[in-house]
Amino acid sequence: MADLLPEHPDFLWRNPDPKSSYDAVIVGGGGHGLATAYYLAKNHGMTNIAVLERGWLAGGNMARNTTIIRSNYLWDESAAMYEHSLKLWEILPEELEYDFLFSQRGVMNLAHTLGDVRESVRRVNANKLNGIDAEWISPEQVKELCPIINIGDDIRYPVMGATYQPRAGIAKHDHVAWAFARKCDEMGVDIIQNCEVNGFVMDGDRVVGVETSRGRINAGKVGLCGAGHSSVLAELAGFRLPIQSHPLQALVSELHEPVHPTVVMSNHVHVYVSQAHKGELVMGAGVDAYNGYGQRGAFHVIEDQMAAAVELFPIFARAHVLRTWGGIVDVTLDASPIVSKTPVDQMYVNCGWGTGGFKGTPGAGYAFAHTIANDEPHPLNEPFALERFETGVLIDEHGAAAVAH
Amino acid sequence: MLLIECPHCGPRDETEYQYGGEAHVAYPEDPSQLSDKEWAEYLFYRNNPKGLIAERWAHAVGCRRWFNVVRDTVTYEIKAVYRIGEPKPEIGGVK
Ligand SMILES: Cc1cc2nc3c(=O)[nH]c(=O)nc-3n(C[C@H](O)[C@H](O)[C@H](O)COP(=O)(O)OP(=O)(O)OC[C@H]3O[C@@H](n4cnc5c(N)ncnc54)[C@H](O)[C@@H]3O)c2cc1C
Ligand SMILES: [Zn+2]
- Residue in A231, A289, A389 closest to B48 by CB: A231
Q: Is B85 within a domain?
A: yes
The predicted structure's pLDDT at residue A144: 98
The predicted structure's pLDDT at residue A402: 45
Contacts with A370 (C-beta within 8 Å, 6 or more apart), sequence order:
A39, A43, A44, A376, A377, A378, A381
Please give the tally of structural domains in chain B: 1
Chain A positions in Cβ-Cβ contact with residue B19 (cut-off 8 Å): 289-290
For A102, A255, A261, A315, the CA distances from A323, given in Å and listed in that order, are 23, 12, 22, 19
Contacts with A77 (C-beta within 8 Å, 6 or more apart), sequence order:
A336, A383, A384, A395
Q: Is B52 within a domain?
A: yes
Q: In what order do the strands lie in the sheet with B66-72?
A: B18-22, B52-58, B66-72, B78-83
Cα–Cα dist A100/B92, whole Å: 47
Q: What is the average per-residue pLDDT within B42-67?
A: 97
Eight-state DSSP code of residue A45 = -
The predicted structure's pLDDT at residue A401: 46
Q: Is B32 within a domain?
A: no
Distance from CA of B71 to the nearest CA of A (A): 10
- Residue in B40, B46, B76 closest to A244 by CB: B46
Residue from A355, A361, A403 whose mutation best tests the ligand 1 pocket (most atoms within 8 A of CB):
A355
Q: Is B31 within a domain?
A: no
Q: Which of A265, A28, A76, A267 is nearest to A170 (CA)?
A: A265
Q: Is B35 within a domain?
A: no
Q: Is B60 within a domain?
A: yes
What ipTM was predicted for this assembly?
A: 0.96
The predicted structure's pLDDT at residue A404: 52
Give the best residue of B44, B56, B78 to mutate against chain A (max A CB count within 10 A). B44
Q: Is B37 within a domain?
A: no
pLDDT band at B53 (very low <50, low <70, confident <90, very high): very high
For chain A, which residues score pLDDT lower than 70? Answer: 1, 399-405
The predicted structure's pLDDT at residue A405: 55
pLDDT band at B94 (very low <50, low <70, confident <90, very high): confident
Buried b (16+ CB within 10 A) or exposed e, A11-48: ebbeeeebeeebbbbbbbbbbbbbbbbbbbbbeeebbe
CATH code for position B72: 3.30.2270.10
Residue B83 lies in domain: 1-26+46-94
For A246, A369, B63, B66, the CA distances from B60, given in Å and listed in that order, are 21, 45, 7, 9
Question: Could you tell me the distance, in angstroms and rounded to a whole number, from the CA of residue A135 to the centre of ligand 1?
Answer: 30
Pairing assessment for the beta strands A263-266 and A107-111 based on DSSP bridges? parallel
For A5, A7, A8, A9, A245, the CA distances from A2, given in Å and listed in that order, are 9, 15, 17, 20, 48
Distance from CA of A152 to the nearest CA of B (A): 30
The predicted structure's pLDDT at residue A5: 86
Q: Is B70 within a domain?
A: yes
Contacts with A61 (C-beta within 8 Å, 6 or more apart), sequence order:
A30, A31, A227, A228, A248, A327, A328, A329, A357, A358
Q: Which of A94, A95, A82 is nearest to A133 (CA)?
A: A82
Confirm whether pTM is higher than 0.90.
yes
The predicted structure's pLDDT at residue A399: 58
User: Per 3-state DSSP, what percentage of chain B is helix, strand, and coil (rounded to 5)?
Assistant: 15, 35, 50
